Structure 1
Amino acid sequence: MSGRFPLCRIAALGLAFWMVGGVFRAGAQPTGRVDTLTADAAVQRALTEHPRVQAARQQRTAAAASVREARSEWFPVIEGQARYRRLSENVDYTVDLPTLPGSGGERVTFAPAILNRYAAQARVEQPLFTGFRIPNQLEAAQAQTRAARAQVDATRTTVAYETRAAYWRLYEAQAREAAASDALRQIERRLTDVQNRQAEGMATETDVLRVKARRDQVRLEQIQAQNDVQTARRQLNDKLRRPLDAPVALADTVTIDAPALPDASRLVARAREHRGDLEALRQTVTARDAEVDVAQSGWYPQISLFGSYLYARPNEQLFPPEDQFEGSWEAGVSLSWRLSVGGQTDAAADRARAQRLAARYELQDRRQAVTVEVRTQVQNVRQAREAVRAAETSVQSAQEAYRSAQSRYEEGMAVVSDLLDAEQARRRARARLAAAQAEYALARAALDRALGRGTTSASP
């Protein structure tokens, strides 16, 4: 007993250390939490995290600051300065004045030579008339701010579409992977059944090889589908700013809307009203109109009030200067009129007019492009809807054909190749259905983008 007790204690201690180490190892392993997302939840997350949306928001903030900058031109400008100067030792304000002929000259000191000079000055200037430059600058800045705000909406719409597209591509890839995995399990069971039949003399080696060949083919399709799932998952995670290989579960399925789409002309009118990019271009045209008036303001005189106060030692505005601090002020009206000999104002106005015309042409082109895009997406949604219905019918037909082939095979009225062909037709029908459903969801997302929707998908 005395010889076995230490060994028992050692074994118990070793078991305890092993269990504790297992607990620590289990705690160190990643949990692998899977996020379950709907398409709308994925869009909301992308709109919060995506750097393009953040960049557009910062552009909007910068445009809003330019409005404050333009408005500040109405307020008086206050300047202040202080200086110190040291003059050289040879500064002298004493001169010899001539007197009567034959008499000596007289030395007169006009001002003391004050070598150390100090001055502090404050100046205020209030613009009265600037050739309409300030109000036009303010109008242009406000229009650019509205354009930046609309561009944020346009960017959100684009990011929302890209996120939904990634979501439904992952949906399609997962559906194809599920179909391939299900088919592989059935073929594995079929291979076992055929091998048993071969052992009983009811199947040939050729039948076994055919099933094996089909199994290998389906296994390859499964591997390809798994790779497509990984690629689609990375693309979706990239939109959501998550780790690329983070697991994600899709909560939505594709449903076909029962009501028909409204007339394309109504949808085009709605898109022209709500599209962020169109609104941004309309506001850009407004800004360009104001910028033309800003450029033309150079033809007008500039009038302003001014006033200043000087506190200096010596104060050079006072005569004679004294070596002490004294103050003085001045006020008045300033009028300046810059006549550009080289035609600078004309050139600036021509440039602004050309930019305004370019913005108008761009708006015209975008309006036409929106019309084409909306009509095309309406057609795509209708076509995709019919494709889904046709694919659903094909799946039902393939299911019935497979059950019939399986029944006939079990009754000995069909060979194994007939059953494999029926299984392949069913698998391909399921893959076509998944592709058709994903195409329909993508077509709906593209229509939402064409209509200017950015956050949630709704029936038109």
Structure 2
Amino acid sequence: MKKTIGILLLCAAIMPAEAQRILSLDSCRQMALRNNKQLGISKLKQDVAENIRKSARTKYLPHVSAIGMYEYTSKEFSLLSDDHKAALGGLGTTAVGMLQTTLSPLVGSLPAAAQQKMAQELAQVANGLNQKGQSVADAFRTDTRNVFAGTVLVTQPIFMGGAIVAMNKMADIGTEMARNSMDARRQATLYQIDQAYWQVVSLHHKKQLAESYLELVKKFDSDVHKMIDEGVATRSDGLSVDVKVNEAEMTLTKVDDGLVLSRMLLNQLCGLPLNEPVILQDEQSENIAVVELTPQLDVERAVTYRPELKLLQNTVDLSKQTTNVLKAGNLPQVALMGGYAISNPNVLNSFEKKFAGFWHVGVVIRVPVWNWGDVMYKVRASKGATAIANLELDEAREKIELQVNQITFKVDEANKKLTMALKNIQRADENLRTANLGFQEGVISPTVVMEAQTAWMQAQSQKIDAEIEVKLSQVDLQKALGTLE
């Protein structure tokens, strides 16, 4: 029974430790990249730029459009005047009247029966001619009060003054800008996660140091109070050691609080619950960093790889293409057009009340003649914007050159600090050992021992700071060179 209870207690003690995930720097980076919302936005912007680029390519191709129309007018178009219509409708009456006037002497000499028969025949001729005249007038009627029309039109640009070429280059630059912007955001995310990661590692080691220091001063406090009881130490020495114990406890509390907050920040960047316990791989290492060789100054590499400079160069190129688009406003434009048009009524066979159509093809030429210098002013403004972008690019290059020089020296300085900190550790350990030995033999006062303990604490803390500074300076250099991956 006791063995069973012991096994259960052991499992309960082990399970929380196994529940904690162990994260390396690379795993934290990958989680931060997946969790970062701005990177998601940059990816969407990249997709938008790619679709815009594809849209610009279609400007080279022929475009087909279909147009339909219905129109009602209160009056129809008339090809004949009202007088002409009346004349055609009374054509037979007029002609027969003129004929009767001409033949009246001859008709008067005829018998009455012949005159009556001739009058009937002339009336029939007049009626027939009137109908023919009316049919001609009706044939000229358009009946355009209800008009239906439609066309399928194909337009093929031939020369647009270079505007289409410039627009496609702008779309390509936009795609490249989106990619460079995503690279910049990615490097910023990696830089941020590296800062948070090494901050947690630093505070974890400082917490261990604070715990060791507290244990050290507590043991010394116990020894001093024993000596006070034996009369070989004063009460003042005991109070001084008590103060050191309180200071050590306060330091441990501050470090512990800072570590909790730093872990929350790291979890937030990685997309983990804020209070989820995690263990970082470098927390388990006794030595965080080692002294590396002094990096070589490489400004050209930074100029080549920095996404910020690439974005500024994209801005310059985009401004130049904007100028080319504006210049196209002063150049002739040529397009080939063709299609098929139908209408009802149609005029292909007089005015028929049915749909009929025809094919057509032609060339459209647009030549700007006068615009009061509008395009010229816009081109000058665009060239001014290009000059500004070039100046900003040159200034950024100078600043990046200075930054690379500064960080290169910073890495060298961090390596030197770490070397000095490691040497100070050896001196502080020896100093503390000698002080403890002298105190035990009664030849050194408690004050000297506390000073040795404080010096040991400072040396250990400086070592941790120096190791973290080496790591962060290397990250700074990678970011300055644009090689943070």
**Length-normalised TM-score, structure 1:** 0.84
Equivalent residue runs for 1:288-437 within 5 Å: 288-315=319-346, 317-318=347-348, 320-437=350-467
Is 1:62 paired with 2:48?
Answer: yes
Equivalent residue for 1:256? 290
Q: Is the 8 A contact 2:56 2:171 kept in 1?
A: yes
The offset of 1:340, in angstroms, is 4.5
The offset of 1:112, in angstroms, is 4.3
Q: Is the 8 A contact 1:151 1:276 kept in 2?
A: yes
Indicate which of 23, 26, 40 corresponds to 1:40.
Answer: 26
SS of alignment partner, residue 120 of structure 1: strand
2-structure distance, mates of 1:92, 1:258 = 95
2-structure distance, mates of 1:321, 1:426 = 110
**Paired letter, 2:62:** P
Q: Which moved more, 1:327-336 or 1:58-67?
A: 58-67
2-structure distance, mates of 1:340, 1:142 = 32
Q: Is the 8 A contact 1:111 1:320 kept in 2?
A: no
Equivalent residue for 1:6? none
Equivalent residue for 1:80? 66
Deviation string, structure 1 residues 398-430 (Cα, Å, up to 9, x no partner) = 111111111111112222222222111111111
Equivalent residue runs for 1:32-181 within 5 Å: 33-88=19-74, 91=76, 93=78, 95-98=81-84, 108-109=137-138, 110-113=140-143, 115-181=145-211
Identity of aligned residues (%): 25
2-structure distance, mates of 1:309, 1:431 = 86
Structure having the higher helix fraction is 2
2-structure distance, mates of 1:293, 1:63 = 20
**Paired letter, 1:254:** I
Q: Is the 8 A contact 1:147 1:281 kept in 2?
A: no
Deviation string, structure 1 residues 187-224 (Cα, Å, up to 9, x no partner) = 22223333333333333332322222111111111111
The offset of 1:91, in angstroms, is 4.1
SS of alignment partner, residue 260 of structure 1: coil
Equivalent residue runs for 1:273-288 within 5 Å: 273-288=304-319
SS of alignment partner, residue 464 of structure 2: helix
Q: Is the 8 A contact 2:289 2:470 kept in 1?
A: no
The offset of 1:168, in angstroms, is 1.5
2-structure distance, mates of 1:166, 1:245 = 16
Is 1:237 paired with 2:267?
Answer: yes
Q: Is the 8 A contact 2:61 2:156 kept in 1?
A: yes
Q: Is the 8 A contact 2:329 2:368 kept in 1?
A: yes
Q: Is the 8 A contact 1:76 1:124 kept in 2?
A: yes
Gaps of 5+ in 2: 1-11, 96-129
2-structure distance, mates of 1:339, 1:72 = 29
Q: Is the 8 A contact 1:46 1:240 kept in 2?
A: yes
Deviation string, structure 1 residues 237-276 (Cα, Å, up to 9, x no partner) = 23323333333322135322443322x2xx1122112222
Gaps of 5+ in 1: 1-25, 456-460
Q: Which moved more, 1:213-222 or 1:341-350?
A: 341-350
2-structure distance, mates of 1:359, 1:58 = 26
SS of alignment partner, residue 62 of structure 1: helix
Is 1:268 paired with 2:299?
Answer: yes
Q: Is the 8 A contact 1:153 1:454 kept in 2?
A: no
1-structure distance, mates of 2:266, 2:370 = 58
**Paired letter, 1:282:** Q
The offset of 1:380, in angstroms, is 0.3
Change (3 A) 1:219 1:340: farther
**Paired letter, 1:389:** T
> Which structure's CA Rg is the greater one?
2
SS of alignment partner, residue 325 of structure 2: helix
Equivalent residue runs for 1:216-227 within 5 Å: 216-227=246-257
Q: Is the 8 A contact 1:281 1:363 kept in 2?
A: yes
**Paired letter, 2:362:** G
The offset of 1:37, in angstroms, is 2.3
1-structure distance, mates of 2:213, 2:464 = 15
Deviation string, structure 1 residues 309-364 (Cα, Å, up to 9, x no partner) = 1233323x535332222222321110112335232211221222122112211211
Change (3 A) 1:44 1:303: same
Change (3 A) 1:318 1:451: same
1-structure distance, mates of 2:77, 2:453 = 115
SS of alignment partner, residue 97 of structure 1: helix
